[in-house]
Amino acid sequence: MSNPSLLILAGDGIGPEVMVEVRKIIDWFGAKRDLTIDVTEDLVGGAAYDKHGTPLHDDTMAKAQEVDAVLLGAVGGPAYDDLDFSIKPERGLLRLRKEMDLFANLRPAQCFDALADFSSLKKELVAGLDIMIVRELTSGSYFGEPRGIFEENGERVGINTQRYTESEIDRVARSAFELARKRDNRLCSVEKANVMESGILWREVVTKIGAEDYPDVELSHMYADNCAMQLVRNPKQFDTIVTDNLFGDILSDCAAMLTGSLGMLPSASLGVPMENGKPKAMYEPVHGSAPDIAGQGKANPCACILSFAMALRYSYDEGAEADRLEAAVEKVLADGVRTADLMQAGAAKPASTGEMGDAVIAALDASL
């Protein structure tokens, strides 16, 4: 039986730095847990543009289609701001999502006890927070046609089209219902059915699926603007949220900051089943490329490490090892190890990117 496979696309900025720490952890699992993963590496984003003149080479896209999972670091940076929109680093990421048909983006927002004081909200509102946002990722206003900037009546007009088919709503809703069953059996569907026809269709489809196939899951509905308000008023009222591409982008970033640092948050993007029955998948930290600190050893690798933990759970069926890795990160934080993004004024010298990775390795050793 062949080993599970992983394509690493470290990307730009702090991406390569945090990925070094993930490689250490992959090696640890191979050496200490007899879990060997066949890893290949390639370029994406600005790094790919520098070498190939495109943010994602066709050969890299082909590799992504063949492996069990892709782990991406980050893309973009000021050096590429003046490129044509069609070849900006972010287009490589969007192409991966679209061509792999990664329609369900899982964005957990979990507040570790040791970091509850870092949230912009009061500690009692976020301590113990554990939300999962399921964002539709391959349709909606980011991909709908027509789109573009056009001349109309003597002035320029920018157009983006919010478009959803029943089948697109159906498949992401079912993913969210299945996930809710594994969590607290509660699902909140979010749209703008009061002013948008796409929202009306979204609510109708989700309601029908819930009534017919998931009557055991408690389903509620909420308008997107109210959901944003409720996330900062009483976030622990939510468990699993499902929403469209645009609203999911906004709400998941809002939820991310409830936890105290973008440097702590992973994500998974899941797609259609492959021949082995497992979904195509790409995992990536929520944070960006942070070019202002790139190459300085200041980046927090935990989001990328936790993204690999999600790969262990969803792509490799290694839930117990995912739990082990997540517990190791939590122990490191509880022990007071902090990168610069998690330091409070007057605190001791922060840990470097490598020191944080080494601390996670030590916690993994202690778990044996």
The predicted model gives 284-299 an average pLDDT of 94
**Domain presence at residue 332:** yes
CA proximity to 299, closest of 354, 360, 260? 354
232 in the same domain as 168: yes
Q: What is the mean pLDDT of the chain?
A: 94
336 CB burial (10 A radius; 0-12, 13-18, 19+) = exposed
Residue 346 has pLDDT above 60, yes or no: no
**Domain presence at residue 113:** no
CA proximity to 179, closest of 235, 237, 133? 133
Which of 211, 228, 258 delimits the end of a domain?
258
Phi, psi values for residue 46, rounded to 5°? -60, -35
59 in the same domain as 140: no
In whole angstroms, what is the distance from residue 193 CA to residue 320 CA? 40
Using alpha carbons only, give the angle 18, 250, 342 rounded to the nearest 5 degrees: 40
Note the pLDDT tens digit of each residue in 200-257: 999 999 999 999 999 999 999 999 999 999 999 999 999 999 999 999 999 998 888 8
Here the tokens at position 159 are 């157009």
**Domain presence at residue 117:** no
280 in the same domain as 251: no
**Domain presence at residue 122:** no
Here the tokens at position 343 are 């330091």
Least confident residue range of 201-215, 269-283, 325-339: 269-283
Residues annotated as catalytic are 142, 192, 225, 249, 253
Reported as a pLDDT band with limits 50, 70 and 90, residue 116 is confident
Residues contacting 126, CB < 8 A, separation 6+: 111, 116, 119, 235, 236, 258, 259, 260
CATH of the domain at 235: 3.40.718.10
Here the tokens at position 26 are 């992959």
364 in the same domain as 284: yes
Reported as a pLDDT band with limits 50, 70 and 90, residue 259 is confident
Residue 328 has pLDDT above 90, yes or no: yes
3-class DSSP state for residue 171? helix
The predicted model gives 102-124 an average pLDDT of 88
324 in the same domain as 360: yes
Here the tokens at position 295 are 């190459």
**Domain presence at residue 116:** no
351 in the same domain as 310: yes
The per-residue pLDDT for 279 is 85
Note the pLDDT tens digit of each residue in 29-71: 999 999 999 999 999 999 999 999 999 999 999 999 999 999 9
Residue 344 has pLDDT above 80, yes or no: no
The predicted model gives 14-25 an average pLDDT of 98
359 in the same domain as 273: yes
Residue 342 has pLDDT above 90, yes or no: no
Note the pLDDT tens digit of each residue in 68-110: 999 999 999 999 999 999 999 999 998 999 899 999 999 999 8
294 in the same domain as 272: yes
**Domain presence at residue 121:** no
273 in the same domain as 239: no
**Domain presence at residue 17:** yes
In whole angstroms, what is the distance from residue 210 CA to residue 216 CA? 8
**Domain span at 248:** 130-258
Total count of domains within the chain = 2
348 in the same domain as 309: yes
Which of 226, 258, 290 delimits the end of a domain?
258
3-class DSSP state for residue 314? helix
Residue 345 has pLDDT above 80, yes or no: no
Which of 196, 225, 258 delimits the end of a domain?
258
Look up tokens 């309601």; give the residue: 207
The per-residue pLDDT for 121 is 85
250 in the same domain as 139: yes
In whole angstroms, what is the distance from residue 172 CA to residue 294 CA? 35
Q: Where are the beta strands (DSSP E) in 155-235?
A: 155-161, 186-191, 218-223
**Domain presence at residue 115:** no
The per-residue pLDDT for 258 is 86
- The DSSP element (H or E) to which 187 belongs, if any, is strand 186-191
The per-residue pLDDT for 184 is 95
Longest dimension (CA), the chain: 70
In whole angstroms, what is the distance from residue 164 CA to residue 192 CA? 13
286 in the same domain as 166: no
